[in-house]
Structure 1
């Protein structure tokens, strides 16, 4: 089932995902929302503090890239619980391939009066990159930056909601895994494939707004299950410029949505 429901993404995959994010979540050039999820496990023998996380439990981390319909595009599994989402991304094959332009992502395309790259959206845990957008730091935000943060948050919460659907659907995630880490890794992959299988059936009959961001709280490189590799994490001047372009677009007549100002003011 994996080649059917979690296939290796190609350019057509990204084009279709971008269209969905633009039409459903009002974010052009977006090819995915990224987020991490801790899976509670029994402490592996002789593992020291590697799996011990900030929640004071032992865990492995799932890092997932999610499309606009709450389906997993790429899954990275088995990372140590002590690592942050950003660190895991920086060492993942997904991150490395995004940085070296080998994920088959389409070329830059027009956003308003300029061209911008296709991007993934994430929260503050992730680094700012040319193809990876994160919010502006929360200190001393002006109105324009708050609008950008709201629009990015609205889009990236698709990944949070996907994990919520996923873990509620499979009761095995409601208590600590008692098996070896290797088997936990396989269970995560298998349930991710089944999640996409079910979402493919549901999406034909369900409203795309069944869970909206506004309602939520603020191994082998030949397939979509990526494994860990090393990659740097320094932001560049170009990444800041890309983020500013999106901010300008969200404030423009073409790119604004009617409710964004109220959402920003009411959440002050």
Structure 2
């Protein structure tokens, strides 16, 4: 951009940030509004049940490493376990690949669980202000089960966070559960893939990371 417009790189950096901030301010509420009422969360859960046969799921959560150059004086805080420097974008996605919450640009060395534990999303889930519906029985059952998010093995198992079984020697029911959860959880990976394909910002971060 600096060569195409004959503007210094530090000035272009200011322009890009101002434009991105203006886009977010203008379109955030229109494009990505997090649900806040039991009705809207129940609609998301019903979609997960209809599309992926996973009841009471209110969203799939995961993080994506975006390769970057090492920031000055950052040490190893941006160096991730995959062997390159990155920032982490964590997102909560509904059953139709729509982003309903994001936390962008966390340091690459931070694990997903740490990012989630320090997020406003976790605080809202824990204190009940997120607006989940009250616990209700699952289909063909009588015991009340709370509404929850789903994640991979990096997250801690809680009543509002479901993750797969990770021990060895699983029985058939546990394997089936893991398959169903993985099937529902893949929407968040697919959503990142759609984002990468549309904006060319996350492609090949695992195999072609830039050098510091």
Residues of 1 paired with 2:147 and 2:28: CA distance? 25
Give the drift of 1:118.
Answer: 0.3
Partner of 1:80: 107
Residues of 1 paired with 2:101 and 2:122: CA distance? 11
- Of 147, 153, 174, the residue aligned with 2:176 is 147
Partner of 1:131: 160
Residues of 2 paired with 1:100 and 1:123: CA distance? 22
Give the drift of 1:175.
Answer: 7.2
Gaps of 5+ in 1: 179-268
- Of 4, 18, 37, the residue aligned with 2:45 is 18
**How big is each residue's C-alpha offset from its partner over 1:158-189, in whole Å with a ceiling of 9 and x where there is no partner?**
111111111121113337899xxxxxxxxxxx
**How big is each residue's C-alpha offset from its partner over 1:24-80, in whole Å with a ceiling of 9 and x where there is no partner?**
110111100111100111110000111010111111101100000001010011211
TM-score (norm 2): 0.80
Give the drift of 1:140.
Answer: 1.4
Matched position secondary structure for 1:165: helix
Say which structure, 1 or 2, has more relative contact order (CA 8 Å, 6+ apart). 1
Residues of 2 paired with 1:8 and 1:123: CA distance? 21
Residues of 2 paired with 1:10 and 1:95: CA distance? 14
The 4+ residue runs of structure 1 with deviation greater than 4 A are 175-178
Change over 3 Å in CA distance of 1:172–1:159 after alignment to 2 = closer
Partner of 1:65: 92
**How big is each residue's C-alpha offset from its partner over 1:144-166, in whole Å with a ceiling of 9 and x where there is no partner?**
11111111111111111111111
Equivalences, count: 178
Gaps of 5+ in 2: 1-26
Residues of 2 paired with 1:117 and 1:6: CA distance? 25
Change over 3 Å in CA distance of 1:174–1:159 after alignment to 2 = closer
